[in-house]
Every structure is written in C-alpha cells, then in structure tokens.
Structure 1
Amino acid sequence: MQRLIYERAWDKTIAEQDRTMIEEIFNETLEENEQSVAFPLIRSASNHKGDLLVTCLIHNFGSGPFAIKDTVFAYSEDGVLIAEMAFTIPQVQLPPETSMPWTFIFPKALLKKEPAHAGGRLDFK
C-alpha cells in the first residue's frame, strides 16, 4: 500500500494548508499512472532570481527503491518545453510503494521560454 512521507526539513516547516493540499493530490493520484514512478505536479512558481520552482509528488509505485542520480527532468506547459535539466538528489532515496513531495529548481539561465505557471507537466527521461 502506497504511503506518503516527507523529507525531514519539509516535515518541520510545511504549512498546514500545504500539507492538506499535498495529501489531497496524493490521494487523487494514487492510481493515475501505470508506470513504476510518476511525478504529479503540485505547483510551479518563480523565485526572486527568476528560477523556476516545480513542486511535485514523487510516486514510487515500484517494488524497489527509487533514486534520482543524473536524471534528466523536463518541465513543459501545454506541450511546450520550458526547461530541462539533469538532477542528482542524494536526499531522495524512496523506498518501494512510497511517495514524497519535492521541489525541483531550474535556474533562470536554462529556461527556454518564460513559464505561465499553467498547464504544467514534469517528466523524466
């Protein structure tokens, strides 16, 4: 059975309304994807430096652990590529049947187009 966990820093600092929203998205997307790993979007935003922040759930539906090591992620909006980058995140070692929220930060210099923050999708290669 899939369970939702939070990275330690997230668990200590997350606002209650954000926790509730994440739990709702977790429940809504439990069976959304037949792949062993899925990344349903929670939100996208830009920070004060113009970097793109893409917050998603990482669903590991598989029977083995999932790690992010030199994994290329692409963020698109309505099918148009906005940013693409390889990530290695040592903190993310998801056990089987576990989900966790995470924010991917794409530097402004890598943006191919200004994000509208609507119709977004995060995929990995």
Structure 2
Amino acid sequence: MQKLQFEEKWDKAIAKKDRKRIEQIFSELDLTNNSGIQLTRLSQAQNYRGELLVMVLIHNTSDQILNFDGTKLHYIENNEILANHTFTLPSLVIEPKTSMPWTFIFPVETIQPHVSLENGYLELIRS
C-alpha cells in the first residue's frame, strides 16, 4: 500500500493548511494499479528571480528506491516543452511504495519566455 511521507525539512517547515491540502490530494488518488513513477502537480509559479517552481507529489509505486541523480524533467504546457532541466538531488530519495511532495526549481535559462503557468505538468524522462 502506498504511503505519504514528507522529507525531513519539509516535515518541520510546512504550514498546517498546506500539509492538509497535500494529505487530502493524496487520499483521493488511486495508485493501486501502477508499478512505476507518477507525478501529481500541486502548484506552479515563478519566483522573484524568474525561476520556475513546480510542486508535485512524486509517487514511487515501484519496488525499487527512487533517486534523482541526473534525472531529466520537462515542464509542459499545451503539448509544448517550456522548461527542460536535469536534476541531481542527492537528498531526494524515495522509498518503494512511497509518495513525497517536492518542489522542482527550473533555472531561468532553462525556461521558454512564453510560460503561462496554466495547466502545466512535469514529465520525467528516463534514459
């Protein structure tokens, strides 16, 4: 059975209403028939530096540990790749049958200028 886990720093810093929202979204998902990796978008925004922040729930429904060591992600809107970056995050390790919220930050130089921040999603590219 899939469980929800918060990374240690998130667990200490997350606001109660945000935790409740994530727990609610997680409880409404049906992940029982999957044996891989899924991403559920929670929010997206651009910060004051122009970086793209995409918060997702990462679902590792496999029997293997998931890490983000050289993992390529695309941010897509209207079937167009609008941001593309390779993430190496040694602290992000997700156990089997575990879901975890995370915010991926795309550097400014990896983002197309016409990002609308509406109906976007992340796509994990496995090599």
Specify the code of the residue in structure 2 equivalent to 1:100. Answer: M
Matched-pair contact (CA < 8 Å) for 1:50–1:108? yes
Matched, 1:99 2:105: no
Unaligned runs of 5+ in 1: none
Structure 2-normalised TM-score?
0.91
Q: Which residue of 2 aligns with 1:83?
A: 83
Matched-pair contact (CA < 8 Å) for 1:82–1:115? yes
In the alignment, the residues of structure 1 paired with residue 55 and residue 77 of structure 2 have an alpha-carbon distance, to the nearest angstrom, of 14
User: Which residues of 2 match residues 7-86 of structure 1 at below 5 A?
Assistant: 7-31=7-31, 34-86=34-86
Matched-pair contact (CA < 8 Å) for 2:68–2:93? yes
Structure 1-normalised TM-score?
0.93
For residues 30-59 of structure 1, the C-alpha deviation after alignment (integer angstroms, 9 at most, x for no partner) is 328735111110000010101000000110
Structure 1 stretch displaced more, 108-117 or 47-56: 108-117
Q: Secondary structure at the match of 2:123?
A: strand
- Classify 1:124/1:33 alpha carbon distance in 2 versus 1 (closer, same or farther; 3 Å): farther
Q: Aligned Cα RMSD in Å?
A: 1.5
Matched-pair contact (CA < 8 Å) for 2:2–2:31? no
Matched-pair contact (CA < 8 Å) for 1:2–1:30? no
Structure 1 stretch displaced more, 108-117 or 80-89: 108-117
Find runs of 4+ consecutive structure 1 residues off by over 4 angstroms: none
Question: Percent identity over the alignment?
Answer: 38
Matched, 1:121 2:121: yes
Tell me how many residue pairs correspond in the alignment: 125
Q: Secondary structure at the match of 1:114?
A: coil
In the alignment, the residues of structure 2 paired with residue 69 and residue 105 of structure 1 have an alpha-carbon distance, to the nearest angstrom, of 15
